[in-house]
């Protein structure tokens, strides 16, 4: 069985045995160790992690169209080994999914996941006013060992209303992922935005008490996708090094 652990907050440690397999961000491998000769192999995923050629092809087309392109490699383990993965010193958070539980996450924030996770792309409406795009990647638990390692710029915070039914508010440009209900979008656009007097917080994700979710938020915001001010200044936030062209 595959085991995910964080190491120094910036690295994913994967302990595996023969017959195990994981998917990781292409090029994320930084080191490994095992007895004897190297007993793990890397294979570029040409279409996608879905089972079957047809599903993989459809998933590849959906990712290309929506911008949720996810360059992946498959790691096959032929014996006991420990391997390590990281991406540009970003922080690593591990999420374990129950059977049928889904995590919604930007493709650029996915570091690795086990084969007990079903990957897909889902359309969302929030992308009109956020750099998050009109689609998001989802991973759904389909086994007893559904593990996902996500990346964030800086050490993230985790907010949850699963137990207390509180209201959670998050800046879409800082939200990394969520498990549970999808958020509502709340806007606060008024005449002040048009004359350059925006507070910089003109739109928000909101999970009310009847939208149970656990949300991971990073301390760095992506640049907003919308500018409605007369002075040419964006109503959003500073650009982030997180957005990359693959």
pLDDT band at 5, cuts 50/70/90? very high
Q: What is the mean pLDDT of the chain?
A: 79
CA distance 119 to 102: 10
Better-predicted residue by pLDDT, 12 or 196: 12
Share of the chain above pLDDT 70, in %: 69
CA distance 42 to 171: 37
CA distance 195 to 183: 29
Better-predicted residue by pLDDT, 88 or 222: 88
Better-predicted residue by pLDDT, 242 or 219: 219
pLDDT digits (tens, 9 = 90+) for 53-71: 444 444 444 444 444 467 8
Degrees to nearest 5, angle at CA 122 with 120 and 124: 160
pLDDT computed for residue 180 by the predictor: 94
> pTM above the 0.85 mark?
no
CA distances 128 to 3, 50, 132, 155, Å, are 38, 28, 9, 28
Better-predicted residue by pLDDT, 138 or 194: 138
Spell out the SS3 assignment of the chain. Answer: CCEEEEECCCEEEEEECCCCEEEEECCCEEEEECCCCCCEEEEECCCCCCCCHHHHHHHHHHHHHHCCCCCEEEEEECCCEEEEECCCCCEEEEEEECCCCEEEECHHHEEEEECCEEEEEEECCHHHCCCCCCEEEEEEECCCCEEEEEEECCCCEEEECCCCCCCEEECCCCEEEEEECCCEEEECCCHHHHCCCCCCCCEEEEECCCCCEEEEECCCCCCCCCCCCCCCCCCCCCCCCCCCCC
pLDDT band at 191, cuts 50/70/90? very low
pLDDT computed for residue 201 by the predictor: 52
pLDDT computed for residue 92 by the predictor: 98
The predicted model gives 125-143 an average pLDDT of 66
The predicted model gives 25-32 an average pLDDT of 96
CA distance 226 to 233: 10
pLDDT at residue 105 is higher than 80: yes
CB 235 within 8 A of CB 197: no
> Could you tell me the two tokens for 33?
């160790």
pLDDT digits (tens, 9 = 90+) for 165-188: 999 999 888 999 999 999 988 776
At 127, give phi and psi (nearest 5°): -65, -15
């Amino acid at each position: 069985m595959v085991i995910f652990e964080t190491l120094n907050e910036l690295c994913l440690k994967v302990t595996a045995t023969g017959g195990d397999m994981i998917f990781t961000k292409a090029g994320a491998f930084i080191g490994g160790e095992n007895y004897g000769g190297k007993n793990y192999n890397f294979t570029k995923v040409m279409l996608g992690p879905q089972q079957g050629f047809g599903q993989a092809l459809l998933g590849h087309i959906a990712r290309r169209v929506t911008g949720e392109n996810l360059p992946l490699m498959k790691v096959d383990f032929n014996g006991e080994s420990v391997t390590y993965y990281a991406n540009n010193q970003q922080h690593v958070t591990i999420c374990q999914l129950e059977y049928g539980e889904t995590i919604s996450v930007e493709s650029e924030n996915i570091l690795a996941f086990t084969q007990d996770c079903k990957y897909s792309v889902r359309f969302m409406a929030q992308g009109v006013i956020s750099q998050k795009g009109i689609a998001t990647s989802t991973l759904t638990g389909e086994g007893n060992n559904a593990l996902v390692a996500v990346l964030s710029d800086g050490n993230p915070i985790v907010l949850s209303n699963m137990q207390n039914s509180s209201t959670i508010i998050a800046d879409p440009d800082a939200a990394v992922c969520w498990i549970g209900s999808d958020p509502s979008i709340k806007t606060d656009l008024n005449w002040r935005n048009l004359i350059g007097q925006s507070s910089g917080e003109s739109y928000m994700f909101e999970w009310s008490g009847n939208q149970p979710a656990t949300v991971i938020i990073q301390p760095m915001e992506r640049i907003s996708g919308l500018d409605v001010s007369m002075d040419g200044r964006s109503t959003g936030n500073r650009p982030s090094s997180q957005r990359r062209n693959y």
